[in-house]
Structure 1
Amino acid sequence: MPELDTLIAEPWADYGLLDSGHGRKLERYGRFRFIRPEPQAMWAPAGEDWRADAEFVPGSDEEGGGRWRFDQLVPREGWPVRWEKVRFTASCTPFRHLGFFPDMAPVWTWMRDMAPKSALNLFGYTGVGTLALSAAGADMVHVDASKKSVEAARANAALSGMADRPVRWIVDDASKFVAREVRRGKRYDGIVLDPPKFGRGPEGEVWRLEEGLAPLIGDCRKLLDQDSRFLFLTVYAVRMSALAIGELVSQAFADLPGRVEMGELAVREEARGLLLPTAIWARWRND
């Protein structure tokens, strides 16, 4: 089994992890600053100046998810930000996210450099990864069970000047869609998937990561061949090891050339340069 690797998201013009500690993190998204809960930030923060435009206050077990508390005016419809050639909208969502996952930046770069001619983005959310690959010339299929997320992804494509790029925007249950693509005999150069711990499809389908991940990876393997370039899997917020998902991918891709790697995603804090871990990942690469 290979050693674990860490993919690090460095600060860029429209995003930075300013400080972290005592179970919270202070970030900048464009011209705004936000405080959000972060259980893995168990250390003390670097500084005391945590002025922010808004803070997400988690709810109690009885209340549920929590709410945003705004100290300054933040546009409810969102505001434009940019990562390289991709423009998109950040916004304060009810689930404490801000419309994209900045720790995925090194993944976007790596996938783009693998130069796939066609790629499938499962659980594609607001489409930043889809647009990063599309900007590099890939024909894309973007799948998410949320109609609202797919609409936001299409709006981000228009904002990026890529509304006419060859992207199929699909509202569907990821597992069902992949199973149909297998029956159709489809193939892709690359697949990226970022499944949630729990979710529901557009027709009430129930997704549970521990039950659904292995069959989904098995079907994804059938959409790739010896000339394909990669599969990239990220997993958040579960009691699961990178070694575990690495072995899952290794077994599924044992009959193909290339190699399997695994590790953690992390964001570099601007205040001290320390790394805040955010997710685990595994990938099959054929380069």
Structure 2
Amino acid sequence: MKSFRDKRRDGRPHQPTKSGAAQPRPPENRPAVKADARPREQHIVKPDNQPEPKSAPRILARRDGALPAEQLPVILEVAPNADYALLDSGTGQKLEQYGPYRIVRPEGQAIWQKALPAKDWERADAIFTGDTDEEGIGRWRFPKTPLGETWPMKHDGIDYLGRFTSFRHVGVFPEQASHWDHMAGLVAAAKRPVKVLNLFGYTGLASLVAARAGAEVTHVDASKKAIGWARENQEMAGLGGKPIRWIVDDAVKFAEREERRGSRYDIVLFDPPAYGRGPRGEVWQLFEDLPALTDLCRSILTPKPLAVVLTAYSIRASFFAIHALMRDTFAGMGGKIESGELIIREKSAGRALSTSLFSRWVA
């Protein structure tokens, strides 16, 4: 099994070395498909495989037509709930409740002091320890009793598996719930068949939400391990009969083929890593490759599309950068570009923990 790494939801930036490995700088459900897998599994090219040549650069030109309307900043907030809660944070850590378990993980942005007393933190069931090395590997410590690798979780009535992974993530990025709810509303309101493409789809929560709402879903991730986990989640959620295509592929290569084949989608979600590798050695650098991928996502929309949602983790930029990119790309399409941050509201002191940037075009 190829190593499964995700650097996206770790707060610290990292850059590729000359050898192509990602330095520790990250993160969660994102042209390679997820680099650690937003937190995802990263594929390492085997010695007998040669990296696939990169596609010819996509020719990008300024599009004609009026720019979409804009709304910014938009802050999408996830509050504590029965399924998940950010209990407290501070001094580089966060204390979270995932279903039955209290979990402590590193959080680089938590530069403030903890609000809860030490005894509340000491009640943790699992603690991620050790610095993340080049391969994104760490370890879990279980202070009370050894826990199994997986445990049952739930999001808005959808059952899925949490999992203690060696790259500190647990298989879901709760901040994305705001996007999931918005997407489900668009699907339901369309009152017609809706096709959703989920690129860098990770463990499939967004795909399951879309399918439950009535959409036909295509879910793409470079990691076989992530796709296997997503299939497990589909069965656990009782959504095995819903139309979801699970595809192990490089996100960009897949989208390019869909463009050539004339396949079109009403909603496109893409959640790329800052840096990653695809299953055949394709190299992804967000600042180099994101403009072409965004343009590609526009090219595979139906004549009456609903939305395109971009989430960006662990990049050295503000949301204004991806906002301007999305607005340029969707010139002449009408609609509106909404951009800002995804945050999780802390239960203890009410502080906001920012997890990622986003920009979305809505028809």
The TM-score normalised by the length of structure 2 is: 0.76
1:165 to 228, 239, 242: 242
Farther off after superposition, 6-15 or 169-178: 6-15
1:140 aligns with 2:217: yes
How far, CA to CA, are the matches of 1:246 and 1:46 in structure 2?
Answer: 34
Q: Residue type of the partner of 2:145?
A: L
Structure 1 position 221, deviation (Å): 0.5
How far, CA to CA, are the matches of 2:325 and 2:135 in structure 1?
Answer: 37
Contact 1:7 / 1:264 at 8 angstroms: preserved in 2?
yes
SS of 2:360's equivalent in the other structure is: strand
1:98 aligns with 2:170: yes
Contact 2:132 / 2:167 at 8 angstroms: preserved in 1?
no
Aligned residue runs from structure 1 range 1-287, under 5 A: 2-48=71-117, 49-51=120-122, 52-59=124-131, 65-115=137-187, 117-286=194-363
How far, CA to CA, are the matches of 2:154 and 2:134 in structure 1?
Answer: 38
Structure 1 position 275, deviation (Å): 0.9
Match of 2:38? none
SS of 1:4's equivalent in the other structure is: strand
Farther off after superposition, 70-79 or 28-37: 70-79
Q: Residue type of the partner of 2:259?
A: V
Change (3 A) 1:277 1:165: same
Change (3 A) 1:64 1:92: closer
Q: In the comparison of the two structures, how many residue pairs are matched?
A: 286
SS of 2:338's equivalent in the other structure is: strand
SS of 2:72's equivalent in the other structure is: coil
Contact 1:225 / 1:256 at 8 angstroms: preserved in 2?
no
Structure 1 position 63, deviation (Å): 9.0
Q: Can you give the 5+ residue segments of structure 2 that lack an aligned partner in the other structure?
A: 1-69
Q: Deviations over 1:240-272 (max 9, x none)?
A: 210000111111100202011100000011112
**Sequence identity percentage:** 47
The TM-score normalised by the length of structure 1 is: 0.95
| Structure possessing the higher relative contact order (Cα contacts under 8 Å, 6 or more residues apart) | 2
Between structures 1 and 2, the one with greater strand share: 1
Farther off after superposition, 111-120 or 183-192: 111-120
Q: Residue type of the partner of 1:138?
A: A
Q: Residue type of the partner of 1:15?
A: Y
How far, CA to CA, are the matches of 2:116 and 2:340 in structure 1?
Answer: 30
